[in-house]
Each structure stands twice: as C-alpha cells, then as structure tokens.
Amino acid sequence: MIWIVKNLWLIPALPLFAAGIIAVNKQPARKLAATLAIGSLAVGFLLSLCAFSATLGHHGEGVFREVFSFPWIQFGGQWMDLGWVLDPLTAIMLVMVTFVGMLIFIFSVGYMAHDENFMRFFCFLALFAAGMLGVVIANNLFLFFVSWEIVGLTSYLLIGFWYHKPSAAAAAKKAFITTRIGDLGLLLGMVWLYAQTGTLNFYDGGHGCMESTQLVKMATQVTIGGFAVSTVVGFLIFLGAVGKSGQFPLHVWLPDAMEGPTPVSALIHAATMVAAGVFLVARVYPLMAQSPLLHGTMWLDTTPMLIIVTWVGAITAIFGASIAVAQNDIKRILAYSTVSQLGYMMMGLGVGGVAVGMFHLITHAFFKALLFLGSGSVIHGCHEEQDVRKMGGLKKYMPVTFAVYAVGMLALAGFPLFFSGFWSKDEILHSAHNWPVSHIPFLLGCTGALFTAFYMTRQVALVFFGNYRGHQQAGTPSAHAHSHASESSHDPHESPAVMTVPLVILAGFAILLGFVGTPAWPWFDGYLTGEEFKFDLSKLTEPGTLGLMIASAAIVFTGLGLGWFLYGKRPRKTVAEKDVLEAAQPFFYKVLENKYFIDEIYEGTVIRFNAFAAWLCDFADRWIFGGAVMLVKYITVGLAWLYRLTDEYFVNLGFDTGCEALRESGGGLSKLQTGRVQTYLRVIGVALVALIIFLIWGRKA
C-alpha cells in the first residue's frame, strides 16, 4: 500500500485540528486563526495532489482503487470497520475541495476583516472543510454519514452566523431540518443496506456493498411494492442526496441559506457541500446502476433508480432556472442557478454515468465559486447592498470584479468553445439526447440552458451596465444623483487584492478546465472510468456531436441575445420601475418571483400539520391522559370525603353520644379523685368529726 493511502486521513484531520485549536484559543488571535485554517488546507491541497498523482497513469488497466480499514466498534461479537478509499473519484474531489476551499478562505480574510467574530468564522470554516473532506475520502457509508452530518452542522452554524438577524436564525434552522428530512431516508437506506449486506464498506476486496456479489444479492430479492431491494435502498439513499443537493422538492432551504456570509455561500452552498449529494450518487453509482434481477421485468440500458435520478434532476434544472429569471437579490439569483445546475449534475449522472455528472460538478464548483465570490465583492463594494435593482454601472467602479464576473457568467451560460461550462453541460445534453427512455429530460435541459443564459445576462446587465442607482431613494430618482462631490465616499469601490486575486485564479480555471473533457480529448472520462482514450480532433466534427454543439450554441446565443435585448440595450433607469418581464407578463412574473409559491404551500400543509400534531399531543397529554389521571384522583378524593362524612356524621354520631354519657359519668366520678391532699385531709377531718360525733352521740342513744 502506498504511503498516501495510509495517510489519507491527514487531509481531513488537519483542518479538524485547526478548528479545535481556534475553538479553544481564548485570546483574540485573528492572524493565527486565518493562518491555521488556510495553512491546513494548503497542506491538504499538497497531499491531495500527491493522492491525485498516485491515481494517474492507470488508463486502460481498470480503475485505480486502494482502501484502508480499521476496526471501530464491536457489537454481537463482530467488529464494524471504518475506513477510507483512494480512487479517481476521491482524488479529483480532494483536489477540487482543498483548492477552491483554500481560495475562498483567502478571500474571506478580506471579506470578514471587520467582523467581530472573525475567529469563530474561521473555526467553523475549518470544521466544514474537515467534514467535507471526510465525506470525500470515506469508504464506508457510516463514516460518510458522520462527515455528511458534520458538514450539515457547519452549514447550519454558518448560515446562522449573523445570529442576531432573525431571518438568519430561521434560515439556519430551515436548512438543517429540510436536509434532515432527506438524511432520515439516507439513515434508513443505510441500515437496510447494512442488514442486507452485513457491511457498510463501499469497496472491500470483493466483499464491499458496492461490489457485484452483494449488489446481485440485493437485486434478486423482492420487497414492498414488488421492487428489488437494491432499488428501494438506492431510493432511500437518494433521498439524502435530494435534501443535501437542494433537489426538488427539498430545495427550499438553499435560497434561504444565502443569509450566511457570502464566502459561505460560495464554499458550502455552491461549490462543495451542495454538490456532496451529487457525489453521494456518484459514490453509490454501482447500486443505482444495478438492474433488478427479478422475474418478469427487463431493464435495457438503464435502471429504475437512474430513471428517477434523471427525472428529479431534469425537473430541478428547469425549475430552478425559471425561478432565477424573476429574482432581484444578486445572491438569490445565483442560489436558484445553483439549484438548477445541481439538477443538471443529477441528470448527467442519470443519463450519462459518473463521469458526465462529476465533470459538471467540478467545472461548476469553479465558476460558481467565482460568481459567488464576485457577488461578494460586489456586495462589499456596494456597502452590503444585495438588490440588483439598486446597483448598475459597476463595471466602471469595479473593473477587475467585472472582468472575472463576466468570465464566470459566460462559463455558467455555456458560451461555446472557450468556457468550461459549455463542455460539461454539452456532455450532459449529449447523453440526454441519447437516453433511451424519454426525450423530455433533454428538452427540459435545453430550455433550462436557454433560461440560464437569459438570467445571467439579465443579472450582469443590471449589475454592471447602465448607471449606478445606489444613490437613489427607492421610488424617486434622487436629485443628488449627479452631485458626486458629496457622495463620492458612498460610491462603490473595488475590493482589495486579497479578494480579487482568488477571483482571478478561479476565473482562469473556469476557462481552462473545460479542455480536459472535450469530445476530442475526453481525459476526464477516461480518468474516472479507467478506460483507454486518445486525442482525436475528428470526434468534434462527428455529425451527432457537432449538430448538438451547434444547437446548444444557438440556444445559448438566443438566451444571451434576449437578455441583452431586454435588459442591456435599454438599461433600467430607476430602482422602482417595473421589470420588463413584469410589465409584459405580470402573472407569470408573479408566479416566478414567488418561487411557484412552494414555501407558501409547505407553510400551509407540512408546517401547519406539524403544529397541529404538536398541539394535539399536548392536548392529549393534558386532558386525555392527564384527565384520566385527574379523574382517578378526584374519584379517590371524593371517596375519601364520603368516608369521612359517614364516619363523622353517621358512625361517630352514635359513638359520640355514648362516649359523651360515659365521659359525663366519668367526670362526676373523677371529682372524687382530685389528687389534692388538702381536700382529702378535709374529707378525712370531716369524716373523723362525723365519726367522733356518731360514736359519742350514738353511744348515748
């Protein structure tokens, strides 16, 4: 076993230690906190590169995979092992997470410079990195789940970082609970998998639960509804991914999560954590791709679980993209865009396999981190303003931010040939086009791509073009708008280098990364699947590929053009004026602006039901169970009173009369026995006198 496999645990452990040290440090030591967090990720990045290089050069000889296990707990006389795995999937994620994470950490030094809880911020960030890297290296669904929940915790803590804002506290709670709904599915899937296979190790030299022996065993067993066990277990595990990756219908927490500081949105809610759900599906892909081996059913080319994954992804993709069209908060636009892109990744996994979905995951991580950090730079420059209607004309004030933002936007929109997003999205659409089950996901994906190009153009036009509207009072164009002298200090400003340098680096990767996964040189695909590939330019001009590329380019240009025509050519003048779409289609705009009223629907159903159940249980406790106890109590007390009454007025009455008579006669008698010597002497004296008189007078008589 090579040394890097043995020591892979160091990569998550380093940020964990960093978080621990920052947490127990009493003195305010901002530099130490930032250095520890960034340093631990930097070392982790170097180790990840070593791990990455170990997985290289195995094309054509199957997938490189080495595991390390150790015993953890014992029950029923058996040990449960935990462990980690190094394979291309792990390695590529390690490199991405440590690298993007490091850049975002550096950006945060500038972004959070004035925050009084700077240390705590870096403590949580480092803890997040530890959890996320744990998710990536885990070779065991249990260890995966532990890390996954730690990631969820840090997400909760960081969304609620500005806890004094009630909206942030509520958003944090919503995020934790919504993802936990999915996690309960994952938990059940996990225990079911454990019960069926007797192991939770993914790969274990042929005995792992993602290896064919166990998969076939599960695929031949029938359970509820006539499904194969493998399908149902896969579905339960997928629920976890739906929650974490913000897939419809559990997406509601992700846009609200934008209450957190912007670097958090970039790292956790765009690049890494939300992609963990996609990674989970990629990790258990053998289970998802296992056809049920039941009598009477035949599955060609695909499996029930992959069909579900595809549909959920496709619906989420179009759903998120359409909502993003009608949002006005710069971060919420990006959040819905993330929801939509995560849908694309899921769809990619469903229709094209691990390499297709993962390629989009990696490119998206870079350009979406870039966009979020860019929006952070914009927000920072505009004095914490997030409403795009109050921005405008920023390309003049923030040239570097504008340039990198434009790169990110073109990559996300999928501008042909030169940007990574084009290649990764094209690959998904290509696979969807060839999907044997249905053509609708492909059409949904294409429509989503059109929306994506449109809303990104709208956003960039509103933020960077036209005139700056930040000085206007809402409603009326300000009279002071032109008096620059008095307001220059409130003009937007470019961010410091500590923030812009990471942006430039990310922008570079947003362009370059596309070239490792083009049809002409499918390195990424070959790397993940371990299959042979070669450089072949002619692949680009094959009819199927070329036609689709042209079609998708046409879609992108349509979106860009439409966006520019509506928002760029005639820039918005005032903050208050109606959106162009709102003026044209007020009903549809209203529906999209309110996110299809999903939150309101949940508010009216799930949340109200929960409150009702709570009320009912409390009522039952107080009045039904408690009432029964009270009834018993009052019956007992009533009986006791009854006994007392009978005793006092019935039984005792006769008894008392008798007693009284006795007492009175006794009292009469007792007067004879006063115990006073004088009385006795007096009686004795009187008696003596009487006796003497009797004796004297009696004798005489």
Report, in Å, the least distance between residue 632 CB and other proteins: 8
CA distance 268 to 504: 20
CB closer to other proteins out of 20 and 561:
20
Q: What pairs with residue 67 in β-bridges?
A: 85
Report, in Å, the least distance between residue 45 CB and other proteins: 24
Report, in Å, the least distance between residue 271 CB and other proteins: 23
Task: State the residues that interact with other proteins by CB under 8 A.
Answer: 72-78, 142, 145-147, 149-150, 153, 156, 160, 163-166, 168-170, 172-173, 176-177, 180-181, 184, 187-188, 191-192, 194-196, 198, 610-611, 613-618, 620-621, 625-626, 628-629, 633
Report, in Å, the least distance between residue 293 CB and other proteins: 18
Place of tokens 């005139």: 467
CB closer to other proteins out of 176 and 567:
176
Tokens (6 digits) for 138: 């885990």
CA distance 528 to 513: 15
Report, in Å, the least distance between residue 29 CB and other proteins: 16
Q: Find all residues with CB under 8 Å of 472, minimum gap 6, and list them.
A: 390, 478, 481, 574, 575
User: Cβ of 546: how many Cβ atoms within 10 Å?
Assistant: 13
Hey, is 71 helix, strand or coil?
A: strand
CB closer to other proteins out of 535 and 609:
609
CB closer to other proteins out of 65 and 174:
174
Report, in Å, the least distance between residue 224 CB and other proteins: 9
Main-chain dihedrals φ then ψ at residue 24, nearest 5 degrees? -90, -5
CB closer to other proteins out of 611 and 687:
611
Cα angle 327, 331, 335 (rounded to 5 degrees) comes to 80
CB closer to other proteins out of 195 and 695:
195
CB closer to other proteins out of 150 and 560:
150
CB closer to other proteins out of 177 and 695:
177
Cα angle 530, 360, 172 (rounded to 5 degrees) comes to 125
CA dihedral 185, 190, 192, 196 (to 10 degrees): 150
Report, in Å, the least distance between residue 289 CB and other proteins: 24
Tokens (6 digits) for 151: 């990631």
Distances (CA, A) of 35 to 32, 42, 119, 161, 435: 5, 10, 11, 21, 49
Ramachandran class of 475: left when φ > 0, alpha when ψ lies in -120 to 50, beta otherwise? left
Report, in Å, the least distance between residue 194 CB and other proteins: 6
Report, in Å, the least distance between residue 187 CB and other proteins: 6
Report, in Å, the least distance between residue 595 CB and other proteins: 22
CB closer to other proteins out of 176 and 344:
176
What own/partner pairs with CB < 8 Å and gap ≥ 24 does 224-230 have?
Answer: 226/294, 227/292, 227/304, 228/292, 228/293, 228/294, 229/192, 229/196, 230/287, 230/290, 230/292, 230/305
CB closer to other proteins out of 87 and 149:
149
Q: Find all residues with CB under 8 Å of 309, minimum gap 6, and list them.
A: 238, 281, 288, 346, 347, 349, 350
